[in-house]
Amino acid sequence: MSYCLKDMHLGQDLNVNGKGGLKMWTVVYMANTRDDAEYIEKILTKEGFLVKIKPISKNNDRGTCEVLVPRSEVEEAHTLLFHQGL
């Protein structure tokens, strides 16, 4: 079973180096499988969000994953997922 983080204060920030320098990313969804994470990624990217998937386990990248978006887009991404029933 996957779940969405309902309380934005519970979102975990993650620093990720990108082409534009250091960016802040925040977890908006925890998925039990990589397939679930990729499904959420598809929904978010279709609406124009930047998305990163981060496996929780270093030994199993098909297991539980964090779905992250830029910190500035967390509220909008969460709203979209809520309206999708996620």
What pLDDT sits at residue 23?
63
Condensed to tens digits (0 to 9), the pLDDT of residues 21-77 reads: 446 899 999 999 999 999 999 999 999 999 999 999 777 767 899 999 999 999 999
Residue 39's pLDDT is what?
97
Q: Which domain holds residue 10?
A: 3-83
* Long-range contact set of residues 5-11: C-beta below 8 Å, sequence gap at least 24: 5/29, 5/30, 5/78, 8/74, 8/75, 8/78, 11/74
77: CATH: 3.30.70
Instruction: Please count the structural domains in the chain.
Output: 1
Predicted TM-score (pTM) of this structure: 0.72
Reported as a pLDDT band with limits 50, 70 and 90, residue 12 is very low
